[in-house]
Amino acid sequence: MKNKLIFLIITFLILIFIFFLSLSIGSVKLNFIQIIKTLFNKEKEQIYELIVLNIRLPRIIFSIFIGGLLAMSGAILQSILKNPLADPYITGISSGAALGATFGIIVGANNIFLPAIAGAFLTILFVYKASLVYGKINTGSLLLIGVMTGTFLSSIIMLLSTVFNRDLVKVVFWLMGDLSNIEPIYVNLLVFFSLIIIIFVILFSNDLNIIATGEEEAKTLGVNTEFLKTYYFILSSLIVAICVSLSGIIGFVGLIIPHIIRYFIGSDNRFLLPASFILGGIFLLLSDTLARFLFLPIEIPVGIITGIIGAPIFIILILNRKNV
């Protein structure tokens, strides 16, 4: 218990460090004193206020919460599906959101959030209904239907992108993950809903530990396994719907972060879930910071960075597990 709390504290302190580091890095470099003065309205230079408060700070907050939610969603799905390869996109919901966003881009919508969230929720409804067996969620069916639904919808996206090739660049850029054009109102809404979601996610985290030992054993201990599976499927689906609709598809965050956490502190969801949120925020914030300044003045999609960093990390984790 003590080691797990220490791990949470250390990761939180690292998050704070990366937060200030990201604020300082960009085409205009700022030092720690300038950042503090600007954050507390002590700095009189309007250019610093514009850079810190209007440009970098909203994006940093956005990165932290998107990364944290994706990592937490991955931890949830890996627990309820009992599949180490489960990630937030395995249920096909991301492809539904992407299809909605693609449609919005093709028709020239000013804001693609609404068509993306509509596509995500329609996919949630379909996958949930299709995975019911005698009124109960079948995790095997959920996994297979989710993968096939995602594959089908991804094919539709590629078809639309080919037919309406004038919008291909916009679609591809969005599909690789984009944190550059977020509006402040969406940052505020994301933070508000994230805090509510986090409370609901942690609420039954101990029951999630029990169900990991086996559904039959969990039932004998008084855990309502069907309610728990439905509850966490809906929560993880909401997380994916919100994240993908706002930022596009950012890979590897929800896959590797829970594995890293388990490597250090084990599988106790009471600590795994909040730790996943913190480390997921660190990972995506660091990746987005690299995406912003590595090739200045060009900015690359953050999904490229998460893929380049995430794939080797996952392979290393697998190799270490084999050698234990």
Task: From 302, 262, 299, 304, select the one nearest 279 (Cα to Cα).
Answer: 262
Token pair for residue 47?
A: 């250019």
In this predicted structure, which of 81-90, 96-105, 122-131, 286-295 has the lowest mean pLDDT? 81-90
**Residue 43, pLDDT score:** 62
Which of the residue ranges 183-197, 240-254, 272-286, 287-301 has the most confident prediction, judged by mean pLDDT? 272-286
Q: How confident is the model at residue 215 (pLDDT cuts 50, 70, 90)?
A: confident
CA angle 227, 229, 233 (to 5 degrees): 120
Taking only the tens place, the pLDDT of each residue in 87-111 is 888 888 889 998 998 888 888 777 7
132 bridge partner residues = 137
Domains in the chain, please, with CATH? Answer: 2-323 (1.10.3470.10)
Taking only the tens place, the pLDDT of each residue in 239-282 is 998 998 888 889 889 999 999 999 899 889 999 999 999 999 99
Percent of the chain with pLDDT over 70: 98
Token pair for residue 266?
A: 């084990």
Higher-confidence position of 283 and 39: 283
CA distance 147 to 134: 21
Higher-confidence position of 129 and 298: 129
CA distance 90 to 294: 30
Helix, strand, coil % over all residues of the chain, rounded to 5: 75, 0, 20
**Residue 324, pLDDT score:** 41
CA distance 256 to 59: 23
CA distance 112 to 102: 8
For helices 184-203 and 57-81, give the axis angle rounded to 10 degrees.
30
